[in-house]
């Protein structure tokens, strides 16, 4: 019997996880022994199934247990571990979104589903990459990224997103932060950058830290307001037309044309098109990338594998217009690639062997199922909330209709063990609470990393906290 302390302040799933981990380490749970299912364990402990699922997922992530299809969960053989005393953090401040992960059901928009990651395919590709004594793999390589990988990315972007470019225009980098910093140098620190408001805060923080003047631009139902952009004096517009984060707006063709026309009217104007999760759309056909509509070389295209494969991959890419490519080659190509050749080779093989396409097709179906389930479960809240940003991406918005405050919604959710996230945290400056389009009482619900049982349980708790 696992001893649980409801009043300890430690989440129940953590208590279950730590107890089982200790038992595995001590040998109380022997290697190869079969564990009870999450449902059976939940009934035995009189807790929700989502609680036991979270405990098992953590044990699985750390390599203590494994799931064998149609058989169950089993304890893995653990080598003797060296215990290291945790270092006392000094001056480290936990960000709010990190702290929120302590809740039992976390609707964070930042996570993805890793339970369906193609571990076998990835393991096979990794093994095959290192099977030969290839000394070249351990050298620096091209500063732009491996030619084979860039060509594979080019082919994918052309067929899936309608991007027109050569492999030479692509730069591979370790995460968007690095690519933002590189792009800042190529463009010049004197460039004034306009951003949709609310927006992806990480991009804003990086560009601001590098000395750029940052201008928030209000959005309407179609995305960035080009009339406001025109008056702003900006040289560069940062936009997410395929699925704006966090609002979930899909920019229509007409507004994309207006944005391209804005770029064409001024010398050295550019649009940064961040296409971070365009792979996931559940209604209608995906709209091709804006870059494919650009005939003048004014669009800088950005993509990443973090959402489609895994956050830890930390591989993204830029597609530079030819005149910016010339600047890069002349002034900044001395920077070594920030992604190892081994990792690049693995991703290359993952792409060309068809694993990536199969993985995307599978994840689209899984995310659509979760998306449809969430919308169905939220039906009972329609008298109290409007839903926005659905049908694409990995999150939706709930907009309050009863006059509640955002802080109240977030706090009441936490009282029942559910993490939700206020829209105000995504604004540059203070959120315009009086604006009908952006009321203060709007929360973001991400669903990608939750199981269907957790989605049901989370919505049930939210209904009890907000609607009764």
297-355 pLDDT, tens per residue? 999 999 998 888 888 888 999 999 999 999 999 999 888 889 989 999 999 999 999 99
Contact 219, 200 (CB under 8 A): no
Q: Which band of pLDDT confidence, cut at 50, 70 and 90, is reported for residue 28?
A: confident
In 37-182, at which residue ranges do the beta strands (DSSP E only) sit?
A: 65-68, 72-75, 105-106, 170-173
In the structure encoding, which two tokens stand for residue 14, read together? 């953590």
Three-state SS at 125: helix
Do 320 and 265 belong together in one domain? yes
How is residue 141 written in tokens? Answer: 């390589």
Q: Which domain holds residue 228?
A: 125-353
Put the strands of the sheet holding 442-446 in their side by side order.
385-388, 395-400, 442-446, 421-422
- Residue 1 resides in a domain: no
The answer, yes or no, to whether residue 81 has pLDDT greater than 70, is no
What CATH number is associated with residue 442?
3.90.1150.10
Looking at the structure of the chain, the number of domains it has is 3
Whether 6 is in a domain gets the answer no
Let me know: does 226 contact 271? Beta carbons within 8 Å.
Answer: no
Structural domain contains residue 169 = yes
Q: What is the DSSP string of 210-268?
A: TT--EEEEEEETTEE-HHHHHHHT-SEEEE-TTS-TTT-----HHHHHHHHHHHHTSTT
Q: Which of 321, 353, 385 is the last residue of a domain?
A: 353
Could you give the C-alpha distances from 20 to 25, 30, 36, 75, 195, in angstroms and in order? Answer: 9, 11, 12, 10, 47
Give the alpha-carbon dihedral of 341, 343, 344, 346, to 10 degrees.
Answer: 120
Question: Quick one: pLDDT band at residue 431, thresholds 50, 70, 90?
Answer: low
Find the helix or strand (DSSP H, E) in which 194 lies. strand 193-197
- pLDDT score of 25: 81
Give tens-digit pLDDT for 376-388.
999 999 999 999 8
Residue 124, both tokens? 């096979």
- For residues 29 and 182, which has the higher predicted lDDT (pLDDT)? 182
* 348/302 same-domain check: yes
The answer to whether the beta carbons of residues 278 and 286 sit under 8 Å apart is: yes
Q: How many of the other CB atoms lie within 10 Å of CB of 7? A: 5
Residues 362 and 348 both lie in one domain: no
pLDDT digits (tens, 9 = 90+) for 286-305: 678 999 999 999 999 999 98
Q: Are residues 286 and 424 in the same domain?
A: no
For 55, residues 6+ apart whose C-beta sits below 8 A from its C-beta are 13, 14, 16, 17, 20
- CATH value at residue 342: 3.40.640.10
Q: Are residues 276 and 394 in the same domain?
A: no
Q: What is the pTM of this model?
A: 0.75
């Amino acid at each position: 019997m696992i001893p649980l302390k409801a009043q300890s302040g430690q989440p129940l799933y953590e208590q279950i996880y730590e107890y089982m981990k200790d038992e595995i380490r001590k040998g109380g749970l022997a290697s190869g022994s079969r564990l009870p299912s999450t449902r059976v364990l939940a009934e035995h402990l009189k807790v929700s199934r989502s609680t036991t699922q979270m405990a098992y997922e953590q044990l699985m992530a750390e390599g203590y247990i494994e799931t064998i299809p149609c058989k169950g969960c089993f304890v893995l053989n653990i080598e003797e571990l060296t215990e290291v005393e945790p270092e006392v953090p000094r001056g480290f401040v936990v960000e709010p979104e990190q702290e929120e992960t302590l809740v039992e059901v976390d609707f964070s928009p930042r996570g993805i589903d890793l339970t369906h990651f193609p571990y076998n395919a990835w393991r096979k590709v990794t093994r095959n990459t290192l099977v030969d004594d290839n000394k070249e793999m351990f050298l620096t390589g091209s500063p732009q990224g491996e030619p084979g990988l860039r060509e594979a990315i080019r082919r994918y972007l052309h067929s899936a997103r309608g991007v027109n470019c050569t492999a030479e225009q692509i730069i591979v980098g370790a995460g968007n932060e690095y690519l933002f910093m590189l792009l800042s140098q190529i463009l010049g620190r004197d460039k004034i950058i306009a951003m949709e408001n609310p927006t992806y805060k990480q991009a804003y923080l990086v560009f601001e830290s590098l000395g750029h003047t940052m201008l928030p631009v209000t959005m309407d139902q179609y995305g960035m307001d080009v009339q406001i952009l025109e008056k702003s004096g900006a040289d560069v517009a940062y936009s997410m037309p395929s699925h704006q984060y966090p609002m979930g707006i899909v920019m229509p063709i007409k507004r994309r044309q207006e944005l391209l026309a804005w770029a064409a009217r001024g010398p050295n104007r550019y649009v940064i098109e961040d296409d971070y999760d365009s792979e996931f759309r559940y209604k209608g056909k995906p709209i091709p990338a804006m870059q494919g509509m650009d005939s003048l070389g004014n669009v800088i295209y950005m993509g990443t594998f973090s959402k489609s494969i895994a956050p830890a991959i930390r591989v993204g890419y830029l597609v530079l217009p030819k005149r910016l490519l010339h600047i890069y080659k002349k002034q900044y190509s001395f920077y070594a690639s920030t992604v190892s050749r081994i990792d690049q080779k693995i991703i290359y093989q993952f792409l060309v062997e068809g694993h990536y396409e199969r993985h995307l097709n599978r994840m689209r179906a899984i995310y659509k199922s979760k998306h449809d389930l969430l919308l169905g479960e939220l039906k009972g809240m329609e008298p109290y909330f409007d839903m926005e940003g659905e049908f694409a991406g990995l999150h939706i918005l709930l907009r309050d209709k009863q006059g509640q405050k955002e802080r109240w919604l977030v706090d009441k959710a936490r009282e029942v063990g559910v993490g939700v996230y206020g829209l105000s945290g995504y604004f540059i400056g203070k959120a315009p609470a009086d604006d009908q389009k952006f009321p203060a009482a709007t929360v973001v619900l991400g669903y990608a990393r939750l199981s269907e049982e957790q989605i049901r349980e989370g919505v049930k708790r939210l209904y009890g906290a907000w609607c009764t």
